[in-house]
Chains A and B, each alone.
Chain A
Amino acid sequence: MRLPRDRGLLSKHVLHALQTGGSLPSGLWADHGPTADLLHDEDAQLTLWVLYELHYRGFDDAAGDLEWDPALLELRAGIEAGLERELRAATAARLRQVPDSGDVGEQLLAFVAADDGPSSAAYLQRSADRAQFEHFLRQRSIYHLKEADPHTFVMPRIDGAAKAALAELQYDEYGGGRAPRLHATMFGDAMEACGLDRTYGAYVDEATALTLAVNNQMSLFALHRRLRGAALGHLAAFEATSSVPARKIAGGAERLGLPAAVAAYYSEHVEADSAHEQIAARDICGGFVADQPGLRGDVFFGAAACLHLDGLAAQEMLDHWERSS
């Protein structure tokens, strides 16, 4: 993957530092901020996404090994602190309804079920045209081409029943030992069949701030041991909001006569995520909280943050489609 285009002064400086191996100007984040709405700040979200990607696939045109560069990490920490603060503030009201004891798995599934946020799946099922469907695939490709990767970072930070269950879930995400069944590869197949570019990061330049934020949130939770509870709660909410929408999206792909690989990808998620949502809520999160009762609140925070951001991203998608219809 090549470095993306900048979206403002902050990302411009960071991309230049990555290209040249040169130093960052000091006080870059202080000069940029404080920002009132970090989730919609595309300059900050792109910067954070680029900094996180150093820990995933990296960039072919970046200079040297900058994954653990102190100045880049310091900038990342500044943006992350703002993002976590904003997510905690945005989910506080939603989290007041969560009991502070009882069956974690049952409560997580009920918490997700009580969410009445917007969903793009029904529109894809019934109304979207091919261009709108492909727009959805391009935005979603930022995540799906590295599907399941963020949560793998959590594996060595947990133990026992939660670890065994997370490994079981991830093994399925990674194709159960069969490379063509890697979910990220199946998504790439779907893109290619539609005539889209399946190259990792190909559509980053058109990813919205919210699309980038959805991805950054996962990396924020997964790359900090302190936030491992939030990462697992996020996974539970993510899986529990997948199988029913996937069924609708597969139906939309068939309605439009899209290549079979598209419906195949979403149909795979109907069956896989019907199991994953139970495993993630009951075995992963339930097992984790039994082991780490002090992190119960963070598990629900992660779930709430997932619902919050996915809701914002879905509304943005619906608004975009309304304008383009």
Chain B
Amino acid sequence: MSPARPEVSVRICPGGPLLVRGATEVLGPDGAAHPVTRPVVAVCACDKSARLPWCDGTHKALPGGRAR
């Protein structure tokens, strides 16, 4: 049986995003609610994403990041 409240977990990826599972929405920097539409989402942790609050890989281009 599923629990009444979904279990939310957050995993911190060193040098990368936060992996969030079980959330129904993520609030952006402006307070706007962004619905979660996939089983696991990558939330930006470097604040440089062009698609906040989601990670778009921009952290790789930052100094000390994994540029490609």
Contact = CB atoms under 8 A, between A and B. Distances in A.
Chain B associates with chain A: yes
Interface of A: 106, 109-110, 112-113, 115, 168, 171-172, 176, 241, 243-244, 247, 270-275, 278-279, 282
Nearest to A167: B39
Interface string B36-68: 011111100000001100111100110000111
19 contacts: A112-B66, A171-B39, A172-B40, A176-B38, A243-B56, A244-B57, A270-B56, A271-B42, A272-B38, A273-B57, A274-B54, A274-B56, A275-B19, A275-B38, A278-B13, A278-B16, A278-B17, A278-B19, A279-B19
**Across the A-B interface, the 9 shortest Cβ-Cβ residue pairs:** A113-B66, A275-B42, A274-B55, A243-B57, A274-B42, A244-B57, A278-B13, A271-B54, A270-B56
A275 B17 contact: yes
A247 B57 contact: yes
A275 B51 CA distance: 14
Contacts of B56: 243-244, 247, 270-271, 274
Interface of B: 11, 13-14, 16-17, 19, 37-42, 50-51, 54-57, 60-61, 66-68
Contacts, number: 67
Contacts of A113: 60, 66-68
A100 B37 CA distance: 38
Contacts of A172: 38-40
A282 B68 contact: no
Nearest to B21: A168
Contact of B68 (A106, A241, A275, A279): A241
Contacts of A106: 14
Nearest to A282: B13
Nearest to A244: B57
Contacts of B11: 278
Given A243-B56, A247-B56, A247-B57, A279 B67 contact: no
Nearest to A103: B14
A215 to B, nearest CB: 23
